[in-house]
Structure formats: structure tokens, C-alpha cells
Structure 1
Amino acid sequence: MSITLILLAVAAVFIGALMRSMFGFGEAIVSMPLLTLLPIPLHTSVSLIGLAGLTVALLTVFSGWRHIERPVLIRLAVSTVIGIPVGLIVLNTIPSYIITSILGIFLIGYGAYCLLKKNLSKAIDHPLLNSRGWVWPFGFVSGVLGSAYNINGVPVMIYGTLRRWNPERLRGTLQAHFLVSGVLVVAGHALGGLWTTDAFVLYAYSIPAILLATALGVLLNKRIPARKFERILFVIIIALGILLLFPRG
């Protein structure tokens, strides 16, 4: 790998880690599309972001542990385990260009959902998905998306939004889920043969960037109006999703 490629990969990891530490989510959603635009094998990108995401989770989970929805977290963990092998099968059997196209469509839909959810929340004045059983499909999808795309937090965020959790409960449960599912996803990547030497080399170079991004994100989170930056983030997510739909030579 060239120095330029390493620096670009580290920059992608840094931006994703900064988004996660600022908003409580968004690392893989930002980093994965950026990495797929580089001449890096998809398996290397997936395992790199899995390791980076687990590192960020370890650094941030303790700040919100008091607000964790523990019964939900347990059910999420169990259903995530069931979904992880399905995601690995998808990753190992479907061509990478199809996966990146699916990821692009998913990002466009998710970004649009996040931009509209404020109006949706106003229209809904009571929590939805009151049955405890609803957490199982969301956890399963989290496992599938986590092992295939490292986007294991998106289903949980959607679930929490529909349940109308307050920001502290949503952020705390998300961070705890990232830690638990991160361990499971990284283990799945190892057992599924996704780990490569290049992934560990890039991860080693990325560690200082992850530490800096985490500290900077916590600082910015306290000083910058998060809602304004969330809208910008979701617009960027949609733009990245559109970019992934264009064929690349």
C-alpha cells in the first residue's frame, strides 16, 4: 500500500469516528462508503471498520451507561448473534459491486428517513412497537447489517426513535449495543476469514486518529448545536449513497 492510500484510509476512519463520538452513531455509515471509493478490497474495509468501531465503542460506552435500556440490550444481543452469520453469507457470496449498490440505496433511504423523522415524531405523540417482541427483528437486522456492512447501529436507532426514547436513553443504549455487537461482529469477521494483514496495518495507523477523533468529538458535542450538524450529516449520507450507485472503473 502506498502512503497516500494509507493516509486516505486513516482519514476515512477519522471522519467516521468523529461522527460517532459527536452524535452517538454514524461511524460506519460515513467511513464505509469512503473506503469503498478507494482501491481497498471490501473484506479489508469491512474488517477495518469493525475493529475501529469496537475501539470507539470501548472509549465512549462508559459515559452513558446509566441510561442503558438493559432488558432491550440483552434481547438485541441474542438476536444480533442470529443475524451475524446471515450477513457473512451475504458478504461472501454476493459480488462487491452489488453490495456497494445495495449500501448506496440503503444510505439514501436512511438519510431521507432521518431528515423526515422530526416531522414523523411530531405526527406520532405516543410510542410505537410497544410489544417486547419487536426488538428481535431489529436485532436480527442489526446482526446482518453489522457483519456485512458494519452498520449495526442503524436498526437500533430506528427502533429507539419509534419507541420515542429520550436522547440520553437512545445514546446510552446505542453505545452499549455498539460495544456488545462490535465484539460479536469482530469475532464473526475473524471466524469468517475476513481479517487480512492490510486491515491490521491500516488499523494500527488509524489508532491515533481514532483517539483524536473521539476526544475532539466529545468536545465538539458539548459546544456545537448537534441538531444543525445532524441535518448536514444526513445530507452527506444521502450524497455518499448516490455516489455509490455510479459505476467505478
Structure 2
Amino acid sequence: MRGGITISITLILLAVAAVFVGALMKSMFGFGEAIVSMPLLALLPIPLPTTVSLIGLAGLTVALLTVFGGWKHVERPVLILLAVCTLIGIPGGLVLLQLAPAIVITSGLGIFLIAFGCYSFIKKSRSIDRPLLHHRGWVLPFGVASGMLGSAYNFNGVPIVVYGTLRQWTPERFRGTLQAHFLISGVLVVGGHALSGLWTFDALILYTYSLPAILAAAALGVYVNKRIPAKRFEHYLFIMIIVLGFLLLVPRGSS
């Protein structure tokens, strides 16, 4: 169905730029495209359902393009559990999107990410190096939360980033498992968007225009990621978490 947007060349260029920045972030670190792109898209006259479905499609595309290079590093038992738990959480997220004010969810997530990122950064700086989560049962709450936040706001990466950080995954396992999870959860989330009527004709048009930018961002992100020293990766990761937390606190448009 049409979303009623007047699609101009200026709108297309700005939307493509927002998608490119988010796709670049995801291909570099394995997450962050929705948190980066959605505030930028909120500045444009694009309805929220169109934005959600556009970023869902873009995120799925990036995961599809980057997952194969890191497949050998994927923690497969955890990935399977995450997929099941994500599927369980998706219906709750669709309900959350309809009932809960977005500002409450995004602000709460922003405050949490800032606190968690600062805590992790300080802990790492003081060389306190001990995993906090050992049992795989912890996958359940993080996976369900991923499904809920993914179907509602495309924030399915936030719980998995926190989980991977607390498991102290290596950079290769972190990025590989995240991208594999995003490929599976992306299919589920995008399917949920389609079945719930979130897809719009305008979202598909903007996604089509964004495809070349997504391809370029994926290639550039992989290139940069391979050149990030492993010892510095966690520091960059914690900084990214803090920055993304502040981005979640940025007021969004009312569209």
C-alpha cells in the first residue's frame, strides 16, 4: 500500500544517505544501523511504518552480504537458541509498537546503553577481565528481547550486543555471530513487518534506491573492520554503545 509520501529527489538522496550511514555502521561493528539511521530518517517527512520497514530491509541486506565471511566464527549452539527465542519475542514486539509510546522505549534503551557502555569501558580500562554470563540459559531473555525490539523498532541488535559483550566474545566471534543472528532474525522480523501491514509502497521504492548505497557501505565496512586491531576492538565497541545510547535520546520526528 502507499504511505502517502511525496517522493522527491531531495528526499531520496537524504533517505539514501541515512541508510548508507547505518549500513556502514552495521558492516563495521555488526550492529547499530537502526539506532543510527532511524533518528536521521525521523528528520524527514517519512511515516514511522515506512521507516521501520525500510531499515528492516536494509539491515537484512547487510547481514546477507556480510554473514558468509564470518560464518566459521559463529557460535552455532547459541545462534540456534537465539533464533528460537527471537521468534518467540516477535509477536510481543508488534504489540509493543502499537501500544507503547516510542519515546519511552527508546529513552529507556538509551539510558541503559549509556550506563552499560560506561561501566564496560571502565571495567575494561581497569583490566577486570572476567565473563559475567557463563550459562547458555541467559540466551532466553536476550533472544526474546531481541525479537521484541526488532519487530517493534529494528533494535534487535541491542540485546545481542549486550549479551556478546558479557560473554566476552572475540571480535571475530562477535561480528560473525551477530551477522548470522541478524540474517535469521532479519528474515523473521521483515516477515513480521509484511504480515502486520507495515510494508508500504514508498518503503520498497526507497529501499530500491538505497540498494547501491547499501552494497557500497557493506564493502567499505568489511574493509575497515579487518583493519581494526583486536586489542582496540572492545574499546571502540564500548564507545559505540555509549554514542548509540545518546542517539536514542535524540528527540524524533512525529511522523
TM-score normalised according to structure 1 size? 0.89
In the alignment, is residue 47 of structure 1 matched against residue 53 of structure 2? yes
In the alignment, is residue 186 of structure 1 matched against residue 190 of structure 2? yes
User: Which residue among 159, 172, 178 is the counterpart of 1:174?
Assistant: 178
State the distance in 1 between where 2:121 and 2:243 align.
18
Q: Which residue of 1 aligns with 2:120?
A: 117
Of 47-56 and 33-42, more deviation after overlay is shown by 33-42
In the alignment, is residue 24 of structure 1 matched against residue 27 of structure 2? no
Identity of aligned residues (%): 64
Answer yes or no: is the 8 Å Cα contact 1:104–1:240 preserved in 2: no
- Give 5+ residue unaligned stretches, structure 1: none
Answer yes or no: is the 8 Å Cα contact 2:62–2:214 preserved in 1: yes
Amino acid at match of 2:161: M
Answer yes or no: is the 8 Å Cα contact 2:79–2:180 preserved in 1: yes
Of 121-130 and 140-149, more deviation after overlay is shown by 121-130
State the distance in 2 between where 1:137 and 1:223 align.
33
In the alignment, is residue 5 of structure 1 matched against residue 11 of structure 2? yes
Of 75-84 and 126-135, more deviation after overlay is shown by 126-135
Q: Which residue of 2 aligns with 1:107?
A: 110
Amino acid at match of 1:107: G
Amino acid at match of 2:87: V
In structure 2, do the counterparts of structure 1 residues 145 and 112 end up closer, same or farther at CA, with 3 Å as the change threshold? same
Amino acid at match of 1:46: V
User: Which residue among 46, 62, 73 is the counterpart of 2:79?
Assistant: 73
Give secondary structure in 2 for the equivalent of 1:126. Answer: coil
Q: Which residue of 1 aligns with 2:203?
A: 199
Q: Which residue of 2 aligns with 1:139?
A: 143
Amino acid at match of 2:195: L
State the distance in 1 between where 2:158 and 2:242 align.
16
In structure 2, do the counterparts of structure 1 residues 231 and 140 end up closer, same or farther at CA, with 3 Å as the change threshold? closer
In structure 2, do the counterparts of structure 1 residues 36 and 22 end up closer, same or farther at CA, with 3 Å as the change threshold? same
- Give the length in aligned residue pairs: 245
Q: Which residue of 1 aligns with 2:212?
A: 208
Q: Which residue of 1 aligns with 2:224?
A: 220
- Distance apart, 1:231 and its partner CA: 6.3
Q: Which residue of 1 aligns with 2:251?
A: 244
TM-score normalised according to structure 2 size? 0.87
State the distance in 2 between where 1:2 and 1:190 align.
25
Answer yes or no: is the 8 Å Cα contact 1:108–1:237 preserved in 2: no
Q: Which residue of 1 aligns with 2:169?
A: 165
State the distance in 2 between where 1:6 and 1:185 align.
24
Answer yes or no: is the 8 Å Cα contact 1:104–1:244 preserved in 2: no
Amino acid at match of 2:106: L
- Distance apart, 1:244 and its partner CA: 1.6
- Distance apart, 1:27 and its partner CA: 1.0
Amino acid at match of 2:197: G
- Give 5+ residue unaligned stretches, structure 2: 1-6
Amino acid at match of 2:202: D
- Structure 1's consecutive aligned runs of 4 or more residues displaced over 6 angstroms after TM superposition are none
